[in-house]
Amino acid sequence: MRQRLAVGNWKMFGSLPENQALLDTVAAAMAGLRKTICVVCVPFPYLAQTQAALAGSKVAWGAQNVSQHPKGAFTGEVSAGMLREFGCRYVIVGHSERRQWFGEDDRTVALKAKAVLTAGMVPIICVGETLSERESGVTEKVVGRQIAAALDELGSEILKGAVLAYEPVWAIGTGRTASPEQAQAVHASIRGLLAKRDGSLGDLAPILYGGSVKAANAAELFAMPDVDGGLIGGASLVAQEFISICRAADQTSGRDG
């Protein structure tokens, strides 16, 4: 059975008092989750607060970026080993905002995923096309290139420890969501690419959808057979929205029921 996940990406938002209220409310509401892992990926300075607030709860936590290097003179960077010390289980790598604003390319993203896996955590590897790429009909080619970079660097066996997230760039933070059918089509094509390299990887890899997921559209997206949950930006900062989205992931059946 494929793991279902609902992952909040707080981006560069939050403050100590706001976080505390959000974390406490989410942790209390998630006690009844049956099959879905709920995760919050918070800014680095809030990891200690998050660890303290969520310890012993059903909610896991993680980071939004990591260095590909284990240690060294890399001012301003944070290593995977450091994240592990704060109890992180997940790290988002290759978010389109990192690719767009910080110049991260496919190989850097693959190396970051490797650093996360080596430190015993789960990378959430983001892929997705821009609006102009979708309009030019090259969505599957672009996503295929991004997936191939991860497969080439990590190998299919290691990639079994990762989560993938399909996030069309045109849907992130825009209020414009891919339709369930659009999401399903890309998820199925990613699964096909993975299966070509390794049948069980195609079958087992959790693939999340991200891009303006809200309480109002989560259930229909998560009901698609190849969508195993979501990566949620803006709506993860609003407790009741995020709680509803996590419940939608838990209550929809996806492939395995």
Residues 4-34 as b/e (b if ≥16 CB within 10 A, e otherwise) read: bbbbbbbbeebeeeebbebbeebbebbeebe
Structure tokens that stand for 201 in this block: 């990887």
Per-residue contact string for residues 5-24; x = within reach of ligand PEP by CB under 6 A: ----x-x-------------
Query: Are the C-beta atoms of residues 123 and 91 closer than 8 Å to each other?
Result: yes
Q: Which residue is nearest to ligand PEP (CB)?
A: 233
Nearer to ligand PEP, 176 or 196 (CB): 176
Report which secondary-structure segment, H or E, holds 54: helix 47-54
108, 212, 217, 252: which one binds ligand PEP (CB under 6 A): 212
- Exposed e or buried b for every residue in 130-152, given b needs 16+ CB within 10 A? beebbeeeebeebbbebbebbbe
Choose which of 22, 213, 243, 249 interacts with ligand PEP (CB under 6 A): 213
Question: Which residue's CB is nearer to ligand PEP, number 205 or number 245?
Answer: 245
Stretch that binds ligand PEP, among 75-83, 140-148, 165-173, 238-246 (CB under 6 A): 165-173
Q: Which residue has the tokens 């803006």?
A: 234
Is 129 in the active site?
Answer: no
* Number of chain positions touching ligand PEP (CB under 6 A): 15
Active site residue 187: no
**Catalytic sites, residue numbers:** 95, 167
